[in-house]
Amino acid sequence: MPADSPFPRVSEQTALSLKGVRASVVRLPQVHNTVRQGLLTYAVTIAREKRVSAYVGEGRNRWAAAHVSDVARLYRLALEKNDAGAKYHAVAEEGVRMLDIAEAIGRGLKVPVKSIAAEEAPAHFGWLAMFASYDLMASSEKTRETLGWNPTGPGLIADLERIEVLNS
């Protein structure tokens, strides 16, 4: 999440304030594989139920993503480094456009893809609407330099095109 994120990081603040604990933080994007895709798992469910894969506005907002195997490797590297107070970003893809995500879901479910206005998002997405139009980009440049982490897993769109729920 960007530094000016509207979401408080209370769990991070709590962990890093504990006395006698060597805590570090791994910030997660949309962690995905062919079974789960973070918050996008719910977007797939909504598209299946409503028979349309929607995005807000022009779909230019982007979400950071990483494959679960890359995230697991990052956790191992962070534990090995054991740098108290460190903050790592588990980001393989800095920003995948919501339009591209909606199109991949639409192709997989064989449903139309459509833009909706921000005012329509709560009715369409339910609780997920609060995230649907956010630009949730992030960078892992410092994490890669510090830990020598190099993500190699498939990208979010590749996994969306192969997810089990779409192919069942």
Q: Give the pLDDT score at 46.
A: 96
Q: Give the pLDDT score at 12.
A: 83
Give dist(CA 104, CA 156) in Å, integer. Answer: 10
Q: Give the pLDDT score at 153.
A: 96
List, for residues 71-82, the tens digit of each pLDDT value: 999 999 999 998
Dihedral angle sign, alpha carbons of residues 106, 112, 117, 122: negative
Which pTM value belongs to this model? 0.87
Using left for φ > 0, alpha for ψ between -120 and 50, and beta otherwise, residue 7 falls in: beta
Dihedral angle sign, alpha carbons of residues 14, 41, 159, 34: positive
Report the interhelical angle of 98-109 vs 40-50 (nearest 10°): 50
Domains of the chain: 23-162 (3.40.50.720)
Which DSSP string do the residues of 48-65 spell out, in sequence order? HHHT-EEEETTS--EEEE
Using left for φ > 0, alpha for ψ between -120 and 50, and beta otherwise, residue 38 falls in: left
For the chain, residues with pLDDT lower than 70 are 1-8, 164-168
Pick from 72, 69, 62: nearest CA to 26: 72
Chain centroid to CA 98:
11
